Structure 1
Amino acid sequence: MFADEIAREKVNKLIEAIKNKDSQKIEKAKYEVLCDCANLFDLVTNYIVLDKFGVNFDFGTSVIKKGTKLYRIRRFNSNTDFNEPSQWTAPPLKPQNRANKKGQEALYLGSTETICLFETHMQTGEKYALATYECTDDIEVGGFCLYKKDLYHFIAGVTLNACLIAPSRNEINKELFEYLDSFYGDLQPDDIRDWKNNFDLPLQFAVLNKRNQYYETTNCITDILRKQTPCGIRYSSCYLPMETLGIVCSDFNVVLYKEGISKVKFIRADIKTNEQKLSDVDSIKIVCEISKKAKNKTNS
């Protein structure tokens, strides 16, 4: 980070603007430093490092309105009473996940049943329990949603959002990564530079990660976002990666922390069978092919 003379000059401009308390120059300089990177993964690193030095960025918030229904899916088990509300609280063991560290209380919900089916990797014909929750109050959540007519802000927001929602390399995603590794080959950081026509940017970030430690990076991102919105964070799904700066989709994920969890209540659980023909991996294949065609069209 900040290895060459041009980068150091930009950092010095930011430091000078901060010393002079010049808000306009600070705003311009901090984005120039953030986006001064050899590749898009370096931008993510810059974002995390700049936050440690007290340099903050506003990527907006959104409100999930009181009365909104949210959903959660678990695989069916005949020994579990899914109508018991205690079965649908935040996981008691508090394992590390995309937006929470180990030991941190977090409840992951989806805006639709479809998104939950993808996220839980339900196979066609598989039985599951679908829980319905209702928001008992407005819930303000963070994320990468604020659009500004500023190129650096847009590049940064799209990149950080893509990094946040990228699938993690693990045993559950074995089939997915067999496909992705075959599709993209041996990606290196410098292969990920173009933020345009990158509908599949989250998948490129996923392939770049060769170890099962991707959540270390996403935890850093969500820790920063959570400072502004302690209730929770809203983010797109890599299976339907439509939401980004200035674009709102009906299908999204949300993670609620302690304050946010207190604003939802369990309504009911329904036992169902997955009749959806499109699997999570099928969805990813479509995303890859759409992006490939768009890039070929642009380059032709």
Structure 2
Amino acid sequence: MKPVTLIGAPTDVGAGTRGCSMGPEALRVAGLAQALARNNLQVEDAGNLVGPANPGQPPQDGMRHLDEVVAWNRAVYDACLGTLQAGRLPLLMGGDHCLAIGSVSAAARHCRDTGKTLMVLWLDAHADANIGTTTPTGNMHGMPVACLCGHGPAPLTTLAGPAPAVARSAIRQIGIRSVDAEEKRRLHELQLAVYDMRYIDENGMRHTMQQALAGIDAQTHLHVSFDVDFLDCVIAPGVGTTVPGGPTYRETQLCMEMIADTGRLASLDVMELNPACDVRNQTGQLAVDLVESLFGKSTLWRPPPA
């Protein structure tokens, strides 16, 4: 595994509920760097990026805080791309999920430069495929998937060069259970691979992950964008947009361990952790526990799959 660089992005400009700007520090308090080091990883903390404050303004043309969202994503893009070019694995600590536009765009640019094939696993309760004309809120943390697929403001869709940054076939969404009315139509038009909670209920997490990871090989750059609201809110209350009925602790552990088994994890987001909604940082501690599994922690030593 490549050495890891922690990058904090303390902002909630894309969210409707304030507080996930404190997420990076909550992950640090929960011992993220120490947990990775226990798994024989070289870890450096690059500190926090700097960007504009949350102005708390209403939407304009269906989008709230577009200028601020663009500024933060440019900073994220530059930091993540520089980390990848230095041969390290960027671990972006959010912050709200709009920041994944910058981190995934950086992975896409790096893949074009190095001849790798990008695969994006989007672990989330929400599809995040809205645009300004379909969103009921204007909150841009509900738009990153659309932007990455080339639908949205040009300053965001072209961060990595000509839009789209990512081929639709490269994105696999897991755990989805909250989709806005117009967003359902957009998901159908985009034809993304969406493994929603009904699919997981009917087929189990093991089969779901086998399908989601199908086609991964030695040339794959695997980017995982982990929104903490992917988890059932009974065990992870520290998020701004709770949705009941998510994966259990054991299902999520299996998900993370199967990703680790591929050996292809190359960039990671941990997003939407909101200490203002949490109970004594239990969600932050849970997130750190799960990230450890994502980097190879397991109950027993297991040889890599053939």
If the length of structure 1 is used for normalisation, what is the TM-score? 0.23
If the length of structure 2 is used for normalisation, what is the TM-score? 0.22
Q: Higher RCO, 1 or 2 (CA under 8 Å, sep at least 6)? A: 1
Q: Which has the larger radius of gyration?
A: 1
